[in-house]
Structure 1
Amino acid sequence: MKIIRPIKADDYQALYEIAEESGIGFTSLPVNEELLKRKISRAIDAIASTPTVPGPESYLFVMEDTETGQVVGTSGIEATVGLEDAFYHYHVSKVVHASRELNVHNTVEILHFCNDYTGVSEICTLFLRENARQGLNGRFLSKMRFLFMAEHHERFAEIVIAEMRGISDEKGRSPFWAWLEEHFFSLDFPTADYLTGIGKKGFIAELMPKYPIYVNLLSKAAQDSIGKVHDKTKPALRLLEQEGFKCRGYVDIFDAGPTVEADVNQVATVQASRKATIVINDNLAQTDGETCFAINTSVKDFRACIAEVAYVDANKVAIERLTASALGIKDGDSIRFSPANTKH
């Protein structure tokens, strides 16, 4: 069975291996011992906190195979972004150059450097190791965050975003960054990406062009990469689009990958989720149950798993004993759950 739980200090080695496996472009997991240990420490502090409004909390969960004890994936939520460190994007918009006298009318796209997403929540750090990429595991690892946000809504902003990895080759070279590097930075993409991941973002404000960039002045390869995702990121993007996430024209400043957003209350999994008291009844859950993603209602002892859930009445559901054990709950406790096949 796979469960999802908050990360612990002794998960460091597993997290380091995941960071190595995730590769260049996965900014939220830099291959750096100090930074990864700090990330774990912040996540432990977030779980122990009791905020009443969204703040600087950084949550990080791991998927564990209960049969082997192996950590096979990660999934994270930033309660807010941009409040402690600047959070940069490019926004793609249009400008018209027209002359009635000459009968010329040209519409061109431009990139505006901005901090428009300051203060929103962000889902991040989603990575599933190769040996666990089957069945519902990827969907589960992504959607459990929405159940956690729905249950503990006071901890998060009304808007949630996700930055999707943009196009880069097997050596980590981004065609979009290649153009910026040539004209402004003299710094390769893996280095810029790594510096951002370890929190050294000052060079962005210092070297990034201060004025809007005309897209048609970029190289053809750079233009074609704007708003496109890495092949390995396409399944994650499809999942978020099914949840109702949309791109509003914001792209990453390094690889031009799209940033997608949604109102938390409008996310499909949140809307479909229900909270109910449980009874443990293997027979009812197995015969009448629907496959769901389920979480307990705790923060400190948070657990999530895939479960068969059967309605007993409007406020009560039956689950299997194995599910109750995985969630650390007993008869009379509550769960929040959502059907596994939910789509917007």
Structure 2
Amino acid sequence: MMVIRPIRQSDYLALLSIAEESGHGFTSLPVNEALLKAKISRSERAFKSSNETLENDCYLFVMVDTETDEVVGTSGIESTVGLRDPFYHYHQGKVTHYSNELNVYNTVDILTLGNDYTGATEICTLFLSKKARHGTNGRLLSRFRFLFMGQNKNRFSDTVVAEMRGVSDEFGQSPFWAWLQEHFFSMPFPDAVHRVGMGQKSFIAELMPKYPIYASLLSAEAQAVIGQVHEQTKPALALLEQEGFCNRGYVDIFDAGPTVEAKLDDILTVKNRQEYSVCIGELEGGKEYIISNLEVADYRATVATLSVNVEKSAVMLNTELASILKVSEGGKVSIIALR
């Protein structure tokens, strides 16, 4: 069984392994001991905090295989972005050039640098190890976050965003960045991504073009990947779209991957989750659900086949599942149908 829990310091080596496996373009997991350990410490502080207000917090979770006690994935939530470090995006827009005298009318696409998502909550750092990419694992690793957020709305913003990894090749080269590198920067794409992961963002403000970029001036290869996602990211994007996330024209400044957004209360899992009382007994046949306790520091979530009594607002758990979820008879759990 796969179980979601908050990360802890003893997970450092597992997180490092995930960071190494994630490869190029995954800015939220730099392969750096000091930064990874700092991220774990920051997450531990957030989970232990009793202050149920919107702060600059990071909630980082891991997925654990209960049979082997091996960490096979990670998933995170930044409660707010852009308040301490700039949160840059390009916004896709249009301008029209028209000459009455010549009777020439042209509409062109432009990219405008901005910080429009400052203060939003970001879901991030989702990565599932290749050996665990099967069954319901990907769906659990993505959707449980919305159960957690729905149970703790005061800790998160009304707007939730997710940056999707853009197109790059097996060597970490991005067609979009190649054009920016040629004209404005003098560093390879992996180096730029690594700098951002290390928190070194000042070079963006210093070197990034301040005025709108005419998309037609980009190379054909760069234009083709604007708003497109990395092959490995397509399943994650599909899950978010099912939850109600959509792209409003914002793309990443490095690889032009899309940023999708949703209002917290409009996210499908947040809207449809139900809280039920726990009854301890023998599990009977039923539907598959994502189920979690209502804790913060001791948060647990998993997928299980459950029998739910809607009239009594009760759900039956056997002793093993109740123990995994850290709940007892009469306690409360949050559930959402897996499909």
TM-score for both structures, normalised by structure 1: 0.97
Structure-2 residue corresponding to 1:296: 293
Is 1:307 the counterpart of 2:304 in the alignment?
Answer: yes
The answer for the alignment partner of 1:147 in structure 2 is 147
1:24 matched to 2:21? no
Mapped contact 1:307–1:319 kept (Cα < 8 A): no
Superposed CA deviations along residues 55-81 of structure 1, whole A, max 9, x for unmatched, are 111010000011101000000000000
Q: Aligned partners of 1:64 and 1:29: how far apart in 2?
A: 18
Q: Distance in 2 between matches of 1:43 and 1:132?
A: 24
Which residue number corresponds to residue 165 of structure 2? 165
Query: Equivalent residue for 1:340?
Result: 338
SS of 1:241's partner is helix
- Residue deviations 1:257-276, cap 9 Å, x none? 00000011111111120011
User: What is the Cα deviation at residue 292 of structure 1?
Assistant: 0.3
- Return the offset for 1:318: 1.7
SS at match of 2:162: strand
CA contact 1:308–1:319 (8 Å) conserved in 2:
no
- 8 Å contact kept, 1:161–1:259: yes
Contact 2:60 2:74 (C-alpha < 8 Å) held by counterparts: yes
Letter in 1 for 2:84: E
Distance (Å, rounded) in 2 between the aligned partners of 1:191 and 1:280: 53
Give SS of 2:81's match. coil
> Match of 2:182, as an amino acid?
E
- Range that drifts further, 295-304 or 99-108: 99-108
| 2-structure distance, mates of 1:119, 1:48 | 22
SS at match of 2:150: helix
Matched residue of 2:111: which SS? strand
Following the alignment from structure 1 to structure 2, what is the Cα–Cα distance between the partners of residues 196 and 50?
30
Give the counterpart of 2:322 among 321, 324, 327: 324
Counterparts of 2:157 and 2:19 in 1: how far apart (Å)?
A: 27
**Does the alignment pair 1:236 with 2:236?**
yes
Structure 1 runs (4+) deviating above 3 angstroms are: none
Q: In the alignment, which residue of structure 1 is the partner of 2:101?
A: 101
Q: Greater CA deviation, 252-261 or 317-326?
A: 317-326
SS in 2 for 1:116: coil
Work out the CA distance in 2 between the residues paired with 1:286 and 1:62: 29
Does the 8 A contact of 2:143 with 2:269 survive in 1?
Answer: yes
CA contact (8 A) 2:60 2:76 kept: yes
Q: 2: CA distance between counterparts of 1:19 and 1:314?
A: 45
Quote how far apart the aligned CAs of 1:314 are.
Answer: 4.4
Contact 1:86 1:115 in 2 (8 A): yes
**Post-superposition shift, 1:326?**
1.1
Identity of aligned residues (%): 57
Matches within 5 A, 1:1-344: 1-282=1-282, 285-287=283-285, 289-312=286-309, 313-341=311-339
Q: CA-to-partner distance for each residue in 1:115-157, whole Å, 9 max, x for gaps?
A: 0000000000001101111100000000000000000111000
Shift of 1:108: 0.5
Question: Which stretches in structure 2 are left out of the alignment for 5+ residues?
Answer: none
Q: CA RMSD in A?
A: 0.9
Distance in 2 between residues matched to 1:134 and 1:114, nearest whole Å: 38
Is the 2:52–2:152 contact (alpha carbons within 8 Å) kept by the matching residues of 1?
Answer: no
1:82 is paired with a residue whose SS is coil
Q: Distance in 2 between matches of 1:184 and 1:320?
A: 60
Contact 2:3 2:64 in 1 (8 A): yes
SS at match of 2:14: helix
User: Secondary structure of 1:5's match?
Assistant: strand
* Secondary structure of the corresponding residue to residue 271 of structure 1: helix
**Aligned partners of 2:259, 2:327: CA distance in 1, in Å?**
37
What's the CA shift string for 1:181-238, capped at 9, x where partnerless?
Answer: 1101111110000000010000000000011100001111111110000101111111
Letter of the aligned partner of 2:291 in structure 1?
A: A
SS at 1:185 equivalent:
coil
- TM-score, length-scaled by structure 2: 0.98
| Displacement after TM superposition at 1:338 (Å) | 0.3
